[in-house]
Structure 1
Amino acid sequence: MLTRTSLLIQQLVDSRQVKVNLETGEVFGLRGKVLKTRIDRSGYSTVSLARNHLPVHRIIAYAAFGEVALQAGKVITHRDGNPRNNAATNLAVRSAVEQRPSRQRLRLRLGWGVSLPGGEIHAAFDSRELAEEYAAWKYGANAAVLPVR
């Protein structure tokens, strides 16, 4: 099943109303000019087409990977973590279940963890100060702040 936005992307690309450069991740209009991008609140590039702001990464993913990129339950991820790098080689199609962050990924990404006497990390933070503030507020003297690698 496709969403309204996905159907619109599919129609625009299949009818060649927009063309894409898979190497650079740019979207071109009917006159062959690069469409102006706008950055949304989440940091993703969008283009204005058919009175809608459509995510560039979804347009590029559809052109590169086909209909699987537009299906419900699928997410498009940026391999380098930069939501503005929309080159097809930087995009991957995953199921929404695979995309959920695990505690192990949190440990790799963030530097300070809050743990209880059992040793399990309950929260992770970029800075030690934030971790200590959270530990004092949530757990009092029972929590420990540890560096997480």
Structure 2
Amino acid sequence: MAKHESKAIAQNKKASHDFFIEETFEAGIVLQGTEIKSIRKRQVNLKDSFATIRNGEVFLHNMHVSPYEQGNRFNHEPTRARKLLLHRKQIDKLIGETKQAGYSLVPLKVYIKNGFAKVLLGLGKGKKKFDKREDLKQKQAKRDMDRALKDRN
């Protein structure tokens, strides 16, 4: 694999179901000790995770990184808040966007890029129940059309 390619480790599939993702940002993650080893072994879960902005810094909460097996006493806390690394202009833009009603920061996926762990943050607006039902109807209709075309050939 080339050095500039990225390798997806974990994805938050529920994010696209619960939010309209309007913009994405790539951010580095500040890790401690054996966390990178656990991430490389794909022992990370983004379910129920979210990002917040405090004192001009972005933090990722509830991202579960399993303790490393050979980490003994140097292991980390699995669900601690992790600082995200973004440019100041990006943080200022996110502060302005998230102050609007209904917008939140959602982690979409974690991947390794050039040897560093990165997270893809999405600026999302929450979906209502009828929006989610409409998406499910469209998915089912597309599935039915694909199935009908496959049977036809």
For normalisation by structure 2, the TM-score amounts to 0.29
For normalisation by structure 1, the TM-score amounts to 0.30
Structure showing greater Rg? 1
With a CA cutoff of 8 Å and minimum separation of 6, indicate the structure with the bigger relative contact order: 2
Choose between structure 1 and 2: higher strand proportion: 2
